[in-house]
Amino acid sequence: MELLTGAGLWSVAIFTVIFILLVDLMHRHQRWTSRYPPGPVPWPVLGNLLQVDLDNMPYSLYKLQNRYGDVFSLQMGWKPMVVINGLKAMKEVLLTCGEDTADRPQVPIFEYLGVKPGSQGRVQQEIDAV
């Protein structure tokens, strides 16, 4: 019962948070390496946001290209991304992996706003109905 009071409670809470972060990191790393091209190791929760300068994104991607090659992966928060640099790599990806690159990701806020695949939104639908 001493674990659930005072300093013992803080110890249990800190241990639990560290344990959950480590399990999350191991799970992400295993899933990440099996599905995506090489890239920098993402941090838990933040992904690669700390490793990319959002104010100077082209230069950040250029530095990562020099390290990981023309095709590499990043994780921005919880969202995985594959970056393709160069004409040769782009042609190869579009020709050999066309099915994987033919669609855009679903964004829940777009559905809420009425923008669905093939539609122009609520305003355009109202104009078309008239």
Domain ranges of the chain: 2-101, 102-130
pLDDT tens per residue, range 45-103: 788 888 888 888 889 989 999 999 999 998 888 788 889 998 998 888 888 877 777 76
Are the beta carbons of 75 and 32 closer than 8 angstroms? yes
pLDDT band at 122 (very low <50, low <70, confident <90, very high): low
Say if residue 18's pLDDT is above 60.
Answer: yes
Position 92 scores a pLDDT of 87
Specify the pTM.
Answer: 0.57
Give 6-11's long-range contacts (Cβ < 8 A, gap of 24+). none
> Are 78 and 46 in contact, with CB atoms under 8 Å apart?
no
Chain segment 30-57, per-residue pLDDT in tens: 766 677 888 888 887 788 888 888 888 8
Note whether 114 and 121 are within 8 A (CB): yes
Using CA atoms, how far apart are residues 38 and 41, in angstroms rounded to an integer?
Answer: 9
* DSSP structural state of residue 43: B
SS3 86: coil
The H or E element containing residue 83 is: strand 79-84
